[in-house]
Chain A
Amino acid sequence: MNGSEIFGAWVAVFLTLGIFSYLYKDNPFYKIAEHVFVGVSAGYWMSMFFWTQIQPNLFGRLWPVPEGTISGFFMKAWYGIYNLFGFILPTVFPDGGIDKGHGTHPHFIYILPFILGVMMLLSVVSKWSWLARMGIAYTVGMAAGLRAYAFLNSNVLGQLKGSAVSFVGLPWFSLTDASIFNNILILVGTISGLLYFYFSKEHSGNFGKVTRVGIYFLMISFGASFGFAVMGRISLLIGRFTDLITYGGENYYYASIWVLLSMIVLLTIWTIKGDNKTPVEE
């Protein structure tokens, strides 16, 4: 067990117990853990995005390592810009170009996403913030186009096919496989559930009775979702407790026990001192 692993365990224990301490009440440990989480997450995501996409796939395509010496005025100017960037940020723009398997010729079409990306960053400058709309508009348009077909294919046609159940050649009842009873349930549940969301006709009379059946199906579905949600949260709790038990061992110098005791003592002092008045938001 090396020093960094032990230190990491102590930090993990502190942050876990810091978050759990909110169950008592809002307190400085919780706030530290919350702020560290937000800051580290933002920094980590930004770093990952930059080093896995922007540097290799954008800059790597704009300034790949050229074949032989650079010739021609335009190319010299293009790589002159690169060298200027390289002078400022040599780790991002290494000498000679970025070799990430994108060939030896610059892909100039990638200037467009580069410009759109820069425009999106300009949203922080109030004078130029209108330019950000172009980048966002492109992203939204692209995503809408990309999703329209996929949803139609998988969520509409695929689910229609899945709901077109058979009643022939099946057993009357089965707990695990397709059966006539299960297929009737699917048919009734699908139709009554969909009719519940049909608002062009008042939900009364026979139509109201059918939509009421739809509500029951929806409620069963929500109940199942709640049950699964509880199961998921308990699983996460088990995960944290398992780690706390591991870190409470001799190998980690009883990190969980020491941090827990210190936190209890400090929270007690903090509570007794009365320095725990959370401002009421109006």
Chain B
Amino acid sequence: MEKFLDFIVRAGSLDRRYIFIVIAFVVIMPLFFPLGLPIRPTVSSQTIYDEVEKLEAGDKALVSFEYGPSTKPEIHPMAVGIMRHLFEKDVKIYITCLWPDGQFMAMEAIEQVAEDQYNKTYGEDYVLLGFRPGNEAVIKGLVSNFRKVYTVDARGNFLDDIPMMDGINQVADFDYLFSASAGYPGTVEWVQYAADPTGIIMGTGTTSIQVNEVMPYVQAGQIKGILGGMPGAAEYEKLIGQPGIGTSGMDAQSVAHVVIVAFIIFGNISFFVERRRSKKY
């Protein structure tokens, strides 16, 4: 027993680089050999799905891209999933970006979904309005006068020349708002400056780390549903029946979590054994 406890104490001071190797291994293996673990949609993901389901053909959805390459694995699958669902229902998509790199994420999603998968027409079915600096001031501007913030889209076309921009003068003219957000400015600012003042129905997809910050708004009904990180994306892919990157990453996510929890338990045992010994001597 004493030898076993010695081993635990020594393992507790293991070089952290061995832990990195173990984590890398358990993340990589499921990517090569998928386990096919089940994915069950949560209530918050189901709420987003239900709200989008309520939209009708020709309705207008404002989708805002507030993330970049650093958070792409978490947010991009859900942005793609939402766009797929909206296009399935023939909803018109208007894309804004509060982050400069969000514009490139939006362009990638458009190429993947609007052009390659659904063959939609630019200016009639979707429009990329692009990035505008100014954080919450941009949202405030869009709420009061859309055309003061955007006179041209990301491709340099005048808004007056884009057919689907007819009748769009403020955020209240949209039927649905979705913020794909990785931080500031993002979901919280859309709630504060757009959803609460106008009453527009809003859903959001955030990084895992933001879920705790955004959840009170969901709980209070200020946001109708949230997709939290890669699991949220996987759940949405399951709901729309189109598995993607979110789904394929969930096996690795689950296995890595089991290993991390095991490390935490092991680290705690090691800590308590060591503390007991130090008290003893």
Contact of B70 with A by CB under 8 A:
yes
Question: Of B100, B103, B151, which contacts A101 at CB under 8 A?
Answer: B151
Q: Which residues of chain B are within 8 angstroms of A38 by Cβ–Cβ distance? A: none
How far, in Å, is A245 (CB) from chain B's closest CB? Answer: 6
Question: Of B158, B192, B219, B260, which contacts A153 at CB under 8 A?
Answer: B192
Chain A residue, CB-CB nearest to B189? A150
Contact of B159 with A by CB under 8 A:
yes
Q: Which residues of chain B are within 8 angstroms of A60 by Cβ–Cβ distance? A: 151
Q: Are A242 and B192 in contact (CB under 8 A)?
A: no
How far, in Å, is A233 (CB) from chain B's closest CB? Answer: 8
Question: Of B71, B130, B151, which contacts A236 at CB under 8 A?
Answer: B71
Q: Which residues of chain A are within 8 angstroms of B132 by Cβ–Cβ distance? A: 52-53, 57
Question: Of A56, A101, A147, A232, which contacts B74 at CB under 8 A?
Answer: A232
How far, in Å, is B249 (CB) from chain A's closest CB? Answer: 4
Q: How would you classify the secondary structure of chain B's contact residues: helix, strand, loop or mixed?
A: helix
Given A48-B131, A232-B207, A236-B70; A153-B197 close (CB under 8 Å): yes
Q: Are B159 and A238 in contact (CB under 8 A)?
A: no
How far, in Å, is B99 (CB) from chain A's closest CB? Answer: 9
Q: Are B191 and A229 in contact (CB under 8 A)?
A: no
Chain A residue, CB-CB nearest to B248? A242
CA distance A225 to B213 in the complex (A): 9
Given A53-B134, A150-B136; A235-B253 close (CB under 8 Å): yes
Q: Please tell me the number of chain A residues within 8 Å of chain B, measured between CB atoms.
A: 49
Contact of A154 with B by CB under 8 A:
yes
Q: Which residues of chain A are within 8 angstroms of B196 by Cβ–Cβ distance? A: 150, 153-154, 158
CA distance A143 to B216 in the complex (A): 24
Given A100-B151, A150-B136; A225-B100 close (CB under 8 Å): no
Q: Which residues of chain A are within 8 angstroms of B32 by Cβ–Cβ distance? A: 245
Q: Are A234 and B70 in contact (CB under 8 A)?
A: no
Chain B residue, CB-CB nearest to A245? B31
Q: Which residues of chain A are within 8 angstroms of B216 by Cβ–Cβ distance? A: 159, 162
CA distance A142 to B197 in the complex (A): 19
13 inter-chain pairs at a CB distance below 8 angstroms, sorted by A residue, are A48-B100, A49-B133, A101-B152, A146-B140, A154-B191, A154-B222, A158-B217, A159-B220, A162-B216, A176-B43, A228-B210, A235-B253, A239-B72
Q: Name A residues whose Cβ lies closer than 8 Å to a Cβ of B.
A: 23-24, 44-45, 48-49, 52-53, 56-57, 60, 100-102, 142-143, 146-147, 150-151, 153-155, 158-159, 161-163, 176-177, 186, 221, 224-225, 228-232, 234-242, 245
Closest 5 CB pairs of A and B: A162-B220, A239-B73, A101-B151, A232-B208, A150-B192
